[in-house]
Amino acid sequence: MAEDESSRCSTSCSEGETHLISSGANGFNRDEEDLEKENFQRILNAFLFYRSHSLKRVQRAEQQYRDLPAHHQEMLPCYMDHIDLVRTCIDHNYQVIKLITAQTSGMFENKDHGPVQSGENVIRGVPPTGFDMDKVKTTLKQFSRDWSDAGKAERSACYDPVIAEICQRFPVHKCDPSTVYVLVPGAGLGRLAFELAKQGYCCQGNEWSLFMLFGSNFVLNKCREVNAFTLYPWVHSWINLRSFSHQIEAVTFPDVNPADLPASANFSMAAGDFLDVYTEPESWHCVATVFFIDTAHNIISYIETIWKILKPGGYWVNMGPLLYHFAEVPNEHSIELSYEEVRSIILKFGFEFEKEELSVKSTYTQNVHSMLTYQYNSVFFVVRKPL
Protein backbone atom coordinates (compact mmCIF):
# COMPACT_ATOMS: atom_id res chain seq x y z
CA MET A 1 0.00 0.00 0.00
CA ALA A 2 1.39 3.40 -0.91
CA GLU A 3 1.78 6.00 1.80
CA ASP A 4 -1.20 8.05 0.66
CA GLU A 5 -3.40 4.97 0.61
CA SER A 6 -2.14 3.92 4.02
CA SER A 7 -2.96 7.34 5.42
CA ARG A 8 -6.54 7.14 4.18
CA CYS A 9 -7.14 3.69 5.62
CA SER A 10 -8.29 2.32 2.29
CA THR A 11 -7.73 -1.36 3.01
CA SER A 12 -10.77 -2.98 4.57
CA CYS A 13 -11.53 -6.35 6.04
CA SER A 14 -12.00 -9.02 3.43
CA GLU A 15 -13.71 -12.24 4.44
CA GLY A 16 -12.89 -11.63 8.06
CA GLU A 17 -9.22 -10.78 7.52
CA THR A 18 -7.38 -7.71 8.73
CA HIS A 19 -4.58 -7.19 6.27
CA LEU A 20 -1.10 -6.24 7.41
CA ILE A 21 0.66 -3.73 5.18
CA SER A 22 4.44 -3.53 5.08
CA SER A 23 5.21 0.12 4.46
CA GLY A 24 8.84 0.27 5.41
CA ALA A 25 10.48 -1.81 2.69
CA ASN A 26 9.29 0.03 -0.40
CA GLY A 27 12.13 1.82 -2.15
CA PHE A 28 14.86 0.10 -0.11
CA ASN A 29 18.13 -0.72 -1.85
CA ARG A 30 19.40 -4.26 -1.87
CA ASP A 31 21.52 -3.90 1.28
CA GLU A 32 18.56 -2.49 3.22
CA GLU A 33 16.28 -5.26 1.98
CA ASP A 34 18.85 -7.86 3.02
CA LEU A 35 19.02 -6.29 6.47
CA GLU A 36 15.24 -6.31 6.71
CA LYS A 37 15.08 -9.98 5.75
CA GLU A 38 17.78 -10.78 8.30
CA ASN A 39 15.87 -8.90 10.99
CA PHE A 40 12.67 -10.75 10.04
CA GLN A 41 14.45 -14.10 10.33
CA ARG A 42 16.09 -13.12 13.63
CA ILE A 43 12.73 -12.27 15.19
CA LEU A 44 11.24 -15.47 13.80
CA ASN A 45 14.14 -17.42 15.30
CA ALA A 46 13.54 -15.77 18.68
CA PHE A 47 10.04 -17.26 18.72
CA LEU A 48 11.34 -20.64 17.58
CA PHE A 49 14.11 -20.56 20.20
CA TYR A 50 11.57 -19.86 22.97
CA ARG A 51 11.33 -23.41 24.29
CA SER A 52 15.09 -24.07 24.44
CA HIS A 53 15.75 -20.69 26.03
CA SER A 54 13.01 -21.06 28.64
CA LEU A 55 13.94 -24.61 29.60
CA LYS A 56 17.46 -23.50 30.46
CA ARG A 57 15.98 -21.49 33.31
CA VAL A 58 13.93 -24.50 34.39
CA GLN A 59 17.04 -26.68 34.39
CA ARG A 60 18.80 -24.12 36.57
CA ALA A 61 15.95 -24.16 39.09
CA GLU A 62 16.01 -27.94 39.14
CA GLN A 63 19.76 -28.06 39.65
CA GLN A 64 19.63 -25.51 42.46
CA TYR A 65 17.01 -27.64 44.20
CA ARG A 66 19.19 -30.73 43.87
CA ASP A 67 22.14 -28.82 45.32
CA LEU A 68 20.21 -28.23 48.55
CA PRO A 69 21.02 -30.43 51.54
CA ALA A 70 18.84 -33.55 51.62
CA HIS A 71 16.95 -32.44 54.73
CA HIS A 72 16.10 -29.15 53.01
CA GLN A 73 14.83 -30.97 49.94
CA GLU A 74 12.59 -33.00 52.21
CA MET A 75 10.94 -29.75 53.32
CA LEU A 76 9.87 -29.12 49.72
CA PRO A 77 8.08 -32.35 48.80
CA CYS A 78 6.12 -30.75 45.93
CA TYR A 79 8.88 -28.62 44.41
CA MET A 80 9.85 -31.00 41.62
CA ASP A 81 6.19 -31.57 40.77
CA HIS A 82 5.88 -27.81 40.26
CA ILE A 83 9.02 -27.75 38.09
CA ASP A 84 7.46 -30.43 35.90
CA LEU A 85 4.30 -28.32 35.57
CA VAL A 86 6.37 -25.28 34.59
CA ARG A 87 8.06 -27.37 31.91
CA THR A 88 4.66 -28.50 30.63
CA CYS A 89 3.41 -24.90 30.47
CA ILE A 90 6.45 -23.86 28.46
CA ASP A 91 5.85 -26.75 26.09
CA HIS A 92 2.26 -25.64 25.66
CA ASN A 93 3.28 -22.03 25.01
CA TYR A 94 5.66 -23.30 22.36
CA GLN A 95 2.87 -25.14 20.57
CA VAL A 96 0.98 -21.86 20.28
CA ILE A 97 4.15 -20.07 19.17
CA LYS A 98 4.60 -22.61 16.38
CA LEU A 99 1.08 -21.78 15.18
CA ILE A 100 1.94 -18.07 15.26
CA THR A 101 5.17 -18.49 13.30
CA ALA A 102 3.50 -20.79 10.78
CA GLN A 103 1.37 -17.82 9.67
CA THR A 104 4.22 -15.37 9.04
CA SER A 105 4.89 -16.34 5.44
CA GLY A 106 3.10 -13.85 3.20
CA MET A 107 1.69 -11.90 6.16
CA PHE A 108 2.39 -8.59 4.41
CA GLU A 109 0.38 -7.51 1.40
CA ASN A 110 3.18 -5.73 -0.39
CA LYS A 111 6.33 -7.40 0.87
CA ASP A 112 7.58 -10.98 0.72
CA HIS A 113 10.50 -11.88 2.96
CA GLY A 114 11.03 -15.12 1.06
CA PRO A 115 10.49 -18.66 2.32
CA VAL A 116 10.12 -18.80 6.08
CA GLN A 117 12.83 -21.08 7.41
CA SER A 118 13.11 -22.86 10.70
CA GLY A 119 15.48 -25.25 12.35
CA GLU A 120 18.62 -25.20 14.49
CA ASN A 121 20.91 -24.39 11.54
CA VAL A 122 18.96 -21.23 10.79
CA ILE A 123 18.88 -20.29 14.48
CA ARG A 124 22.68 -20.54 14.59
CA GLY A 125 22.88 -18.45 11.41
CA VAL A 126 20.79 -15.54 12.72
CA PRO A 127 20.85 -15.92 16.50
CA PRO A 128 18.34 -14.02 18.61
CA THR A 129 19.62 -11.77 21.35
CA GLY A 130 18.68 -11.82 25.02
CA PHE A 131 16.60 -8.71 24.34
CA ASP A 132 14.78 -10.63 21.59
CA MET A 133 13.92 -13.43 23.98
CA ASP A 134 12.55 -10.95 26.52
CA LYS A 135 10.36 -9.49 23.76
CA VAL A 136 8.92 -12.93 22.98
CA LYS A 137 7.88 -13.28 26.62
CA THR A 138 6.44 -9.76 26.55
CA THR A 139 4.40 -10.67 23.49
CA LEU A 140 2.87 -13.62 25.35
CA LYS A 141 1.85 -11.24 28.14
CA GLN A 142 0.38 -8.92 25.54
CA PHE A 143 -2.06 -11.63 24.48
CA SER A 144 -3.31 -11.62 28.06
CA ARG A 145 -3.65 -7.82 28.14
CA ASP A 146 -5.31 -7.36 24.76
CA TRP A 147 -7.28 -10.52 24.06
CA SER A 148 -8.19 -12.33 27.29
CA ASP A 149 -10.65 -11.87 30.12
CA ALA A 150 -7.64 -11.53 32.42
CA GLY A 151 -6.71 -8.27 30.70
CA LYS A 152 -10.16 -6.72 30.92
CA ALA A 153 -9.31 -4.42 33.85
CA GLU A 154 -6.22 -3.04 32.10
CA ARG A 155 -8.16 -2.48 28.89
CA SER A 156 -10.96 -0.77 30.78
CA ALA A 157 -8.51 1.64 32.39
CA CYS A 158 -6.55 2.44 29.24
CA TYR A 159 -8.80 1.87 26.22
CA ASP A 160 -12.31 2.68 27.41
CA PRO A 161 -11.68 6.39 28.10
CA VAL A 162 -10.08 6.78 24.65
CA ILE A 163 -12.97 5.05 22.89
CA ALA A 164 -15.51 7.09 24.86
CA GLU A 165 -13.87 10.39 23.88
CA ILE A 166 -13.76 9.45 20.20
CA CYS A 167 -17.39 8.35 20.24
CA GLN A 168 -18.35 11.61 21.95
CA ARG A 169 -16.61 13.72 19.32
CA PHE A 170 -17.69 11.62 16.36
CA PRO A 171 -21.10 10.29 17.50
CA VAL A 172 -22.25 7.46 15.28
CA HIS A 173 -25.86 8.70 15.42
CA LYS A 174 -24.85 12.07 13.96
CA CYS A 175 -22.27 11.09 11.35
CA ASP A 176 -21.32 8.20 9.10
CA PRO A 177 -18.51 6.63 11.13
CA SER A 178 -17.11 4.92 8.03
CA THR A 179 -16.03 8.36 6.80
CA VAL A 180 -14.12 9.11 10.02
CA TYR A 181 -10.47 8.08 9.69
CA VAL A 182 -8.90 7.02 13.00
CA LEU A 183 -5.21 6.09 13.36
CA VAL A 184 -3.81 4.07 16.26
CA PRO A 185 0.01 4.19 16.29
CA GLY A 186 1.75 1.67 18.50
CA ALA A 187 -1.22 -0.66 18.09
CA GLY A 188 0.47 -3.71 19.62
CA LEU A 189 -1.79 -6.71 19.10
CA GLY A 190 -4.53 -4.48 17.73
CA ARG A 191 -7.30 -4.60 20.33
CA LEU A 192 -7.88 -0.84 20.60
CA ALA A 193 -7.92 -0.46 16.81
CA PHE A 194 -10.29 -3.44 16.57
CA GLU A 195 -12.69 -1.90 19.08
CA LEU A 196 -12.72 1.40 17.19
CA ALA A 197 -13.36 -0.40 13.89
CA LYS A 198 -16.17 -2.26 15.63
CA GLN A 199 -17.77 1.13 16.34
CA GLY A 200 -17.81 1.64 12.58
CA TYR A 201 -14.87 4.02 12.19
CA CYS A 202 -12.35 3.57 9.39
CA CYS A 203 -9.47 2.54 11.61
CA GLN A 204 -5.88 1.63 10.95
CA GLY A 205 -3.43 0.35 13.52
CA ASN A 206 0.25 1.00 13.02
CA GLU A 207 2.99 -1.09 14.58
CA TRP A 208 6.75 -1.15 14.17
CA SER A 209 7.67 -4.22 16.25
CA LEU A 210 7.74 -7.50 14.35
CA PHE A 211 7.11 -9.28 17.64
CA MET A 212 3.76 -7.53 17.93
CA LEU A 213 3.04 -7.86 14.20
CA PHE A 214 3.51 -11.63 14.33
CA GLY A 215 1.08 -11.77 17.23
CA SER A 216 -1.50 -9.41 15.75
CA ASN A 217 -1.42 -11.23 12.42
CA PHE A 218 -2.24 -14.48 14.21
CA VAL A 219 -5.00 -13.21 16.45
CA LEU A 220 -6.68 -10.91 13.91
CA ASN A 221 -6.43 -13.08 10.82
CA LYS A 222 -6.33 -16.65 12.07
CA CYS A 223 -8.32 -16.80 15.33
CA ARG A 224 -11.98 -17.44 14.59
CA GLU A 225 -13.27 -19.02 17.82
CA VAL A 226 -13.65 -17.48 21.25
CA ASN A 227 -11.10 -18.74 23.80
CA ALA A 228 -9.72 -21.31 21.37
CA PHE A 229 -6.13 -21.03 22.65
CA THR A 230 -4.44 -21.20 26.03
CA LEU A 231 -1.22 -19.52 27.15
CA TYR A 232 0.72 -19.39 30.40
CA PRO A 233 2.09 -15.83 30.31
CA TRP A 234 3.52 -15.78 33.86
CA VAL A 235 5.43 -19.06 33.67
CA HIS A 236 8.72 -17.15 33.38
CA SER A 237 8.15 -15.33 36.68
CA TRP A 238 10.30 -16.95 39.35
CA ILE A 239 10.26 -14.21 41.98
CA ASN A 240 7.62 -12.36 44.01
CA LEU A 241 5.24 -15.33 43.85
CA ARG A 242 2.55 -15.59 46.52
CA SER A 243 1.81 -19.10 45.32
CA PHE A 244 3.40 -21.47 42.80
CA SER A 245 -0.06 -21.80 41.29
CA HIS A 246 0.15 -18.18 40.11
CA GLN A 247 3.24 -18.94 38.04
CA ILE A 248 1.37 -21.56 36.03
CA GLU A 249 -1.96 -19.75 35.79
CA ALA A 250 -3.53 -20.06 32.34
CA VAL A 251 -5.27 -17.46 30.21
CA THR A 252 -7.41 -18.22 27.18
CA PHE A 253 -7.72 -16.05 24.10
CA PRO A 254 -9.30 -14.45 22.20
CA ASP A 255 -12.12 -13.39 24.50
CA VAL A 256 -14.06 -12.20 21.42
CA ASN A 257 -14.09 -13.37 17.83
CA PRO A 258 -11.77 -10.97 15.94
CA ALA A 259 -13.78 -11.63 12.79
CA ASP A 260 -16.90 -10.29 14.48
CA LEU A 261 -16.92 -6.94 12.73
CA PRO A 262 -19.67 -5.24 10.72
CA ALA A 263 -19.68 -6.19 7.06
CA SER A 264 -18.83 -2.61 6.20
CA ALA A 265 -15.91 -2.44 8.63
CA ASN A 266 -12.74 -0.80 7.31
CA PHE A 267 -9.90 -2.06 9.47
CA SER A 268 -6.25 -2.59 8.64
CA MET A 269 -2.81 -2.81 10.23
CA ALA A 270 0.19 -1.01 8.74
CA ALA A 271 3.71 -2.16 9.52
CA GLY A 272 6.53 0.32 9.79
CA ASP A 273 7.94 3.30 11.66
CA PHE A 274 5.23 5.82 12.47
CA LEU A 275 7.37 8.73 11.27
CA ASP A 276 8.15 7.04 7.95
CA VAL A 277 4.70 5.67 7.14
CA TYR A 278 2.52 8.69 7.92
CA THR A 279 3.65 11.71 5.93
CA GLU A 280 0.54 12.90 4.08
CA PRO A 281 -0.74 16.16 5.58
CA GLU A 282 -4.28 16.57 6.90
CA SER A 283 -5.37 13.00 6.24
CA TRP A 284 -6.78 11.78 9.58
CA HIS A 285 -9.72 12.92 11.68
CA CYS A 286 -8.34 11.41 14.87
CA VAL A 287 -5.10 9.95 16.21
CA ALA A 288 -5.38 7.74 19.31
CA THR A 289 -2.18 6.99 21.23
CA VAL A 290 -2.10 4.66 24.24
CA PHE A 291 1.27 3.95 25.90
CA PHE A 292 2.91 5.14 22.69
CA ILE A 293 4.41 8.62 22.71
CA ASP A 294 7.25 7.59 25.04
CA THR A 295 8.48 5.06 22.48
CA ALA A 296 9.99 7.95 20.49
CA HIS A 297 13.66 8.73 20.20
CA ASN A 298 12.51 12.33 19.89
CA ILE A 299 9.02 12.91 21.25
CA ILE A 300 8.84 16.30 19.54
CA SER A 301 8.95 14.55 16.15
CA TYR A 302 5.91 12.47 17.17
CA ILE A 303 3.97 15.58 18.16
CA GLU A 304 5.00 17.31 14.93
CA THR A 305 3.85 14.36 12.81
CA ILE A 306 0.51 14.10 14.62
CA TRP A 307 -0.05 17.82 14.05
CA LYS A 308 0.83 17.44 10.37
CA ILE A 309 -1.37 14.44 9.55
CA LEU A 310 -4.47 15.60 11.45
CA LYS A 311 -7.16 17.38 9.50
CA PRO A 312 -8.11 20.86 10.73
CA GLY A 313 -10.60 20.30 13.53
CA GLY A 314 -9.16 16.81 14.16
CA TYR A 315 -8.46 15.33 17.58
CA TRP A 316 -5.51 13.68 19.27
CA VAL A 317 -6.50 11.47 22.20
CA ASN A 318 -3.66 10.22 24.41
CA MET A 319 -3.29 7.95 27.43
CA GLY A 320 -0.03 6.86 29.01
CA PRO A 321 3.12 7.61 31.00
CA LEU A 322 6.56 8.87 29.91
CA LEU A 323 8.75 5.81 30.36
CA TYR A 324 11.01 6.75 27.40
CA HIS A 325 11.98 3.34 26.06
CA PHE A 326 15.39 4.38 24.71
CA ALA A 327 16.49 6.38 27.76
CA GLU A 328 19.05 3.86 29.01
CA VAL A 329 19.77 1.98 25.76
CA PRO A 330 23.43 2.26 24.68
CA ASN A 331 24.07 3.98 21.34
CA GLU A 332 20.43 5.07 21.00
CA HIS A 333 19.44 8.71 20.79
CA SER A 334 16.81 9.74 23.30
CA ILE A 335 15.57 13.01 24.70
CA GLU A 336 13.56 12.73 27.91
CA LEU A 337 11.15 15.57 28.59
CA SER A 338 8.87 16.14 31.54
CA TYR A 339 5.15 16.22 30.92
CA GLU A 340 5.22 19.94 31.63
CA GLU A 341 7.63 20.37 28.71
CA VAL A 342 5.65 18.00 26.48
CA ARG A 343 2.49 19.96 27.22
CA SER A 344 4.23 23.21 26.35
CA ILE A 345 5.39 21.82 23.00
CA ILE A 346 1.87 20.56 22.19
CA LEU A 347 0.61 24.10 22.72
CA LYS A 348 3.44 25.61 20.67
CA PHE A 349 2.39 23.55 17.66
CA GLY A 350 -1.07 25.07 17.98
CA PHE A 351 -3.13 22.33 19.63
CA GLU A 352 -5.92 23.34 21.97
CA PHE A 353 -6.52 21.28 25.12
CA GLU A 354 -10.11 20.13 25.50
CA LYS A 355 -9.58 17.63 28.29
CA GLU A 356 -6.72 16.78 30.60
CA GLU A 357 -6.50 14.36 33.52
CA LEU A 358 -3.31 13.78 35.49
CA SER A 359 -2.40 10.73 37.56
CA VAL A 360 -4.78 8.27 35.90
CA LYS A 361 -4.04 4.93 37.55
CA SER A 362 -3.06 2.36 34.92
CA THR A 363 -0.95 -0.78 34.56
CA TYR A 364 0.68 -2.63 31.69
CA THR A 365 0.77 -6.45 31.41
CA GLN A 366 0.77 -6.85 35.18
CA ASN A 367 0.27 -10.14 36.96
CA VAL A 368 -2.28 -9.14 39.57
CA HIS A 369 -1.13 -11.98 41.84
CA SER A 370 2.51 -10.89 41.94
CA MET A 371 4.03 -9.44 45.11
CA LEU A 372 5.51 -6.71 42.90
CA THR A 373 3.38 -4.66 40.52
CA TYR A 374 3.96 -1.39 38.74
CA GLN A 375 1.27 1.26 38.54
CA TYR A 376 1.58 4.31 36.31
CA ASN A 377 0.13 7.71 37.05
CA SER A 378 -0.70 8.21 33.40
CA VAL A 379 -1.73 11.39 31.64
CA PHE A 380 -4.97 11.38 29.67
CA PHE A 381 -5.67 14.28 27.34
CA VAL A 382 -7.72 15.30 24.32
CA VAL A 383 -6.38 18.08 22.13
CA ARG A 384 -7.81 19.58 18.96
CA LYS A 385 -6.16 20.99 15.87
CA PRO A 386 -8.03 24.25 15.28
CA LEU A 387 -9.99 24.87 12.13
Domain ranges of the chain: 19-384
- By CB neighbour count within 10 A (0-12 exposed, 13-18 middle, 19+ buried), where does 302 fall? buried
**Model pTM greater than 0.85?**
yes
Residue 25: pLDDT band with limits 50, 70, 90: very low
Residue 1: pLDDT band with limits 50, 70, 90: very low
Residue 223 to residues 98, 105, 190, Cα–Cα distance (Å): 14, 17, 13
What number of CA atoms fall less than 13 Å from residue 8's CA on the CB side? Answer: 6
Residue 263 confidence (pLDDT): 82
> Using one digit for the tens of pLDDT, what is the confidence trace for 39-59?
899 999 999 999 999 999 999
DSSP helix/strand/coil, 321: coil
Q: 55: Cβ–Cβ under 8 A, 6 or more apart, which residues? A: 87, 90
Q: Is the pLDDT of residue 118 over 60?
A: no
Residue 19 confidence (pLDDT): 66
Q: 243: Cβ–Cβ under 8 A, 6 or more apart, which residues? A: 369
Q: Report the 10 Å Cβ neighbour count for 77.
A: 8
What is the CATH architecture of 19-384?
Answer: 3-Layer(aba) Sandwich (3.40)
DSSP helix/strand/coil, 377: strand
DSSP helix/strand/coil, 252: strand
Average pLDDT, the chain: 91
Residue 309 to residues 215, 300, 345, 355, Cα–Cα distance (Å): 27, 14, 17, 21
Q: Answer whether the bond into residue 77 is a cis peptide, omega within 30°.
A: no
Distance separating alpha carbons of residues 34 and 147, to the nearest angstrom: 34
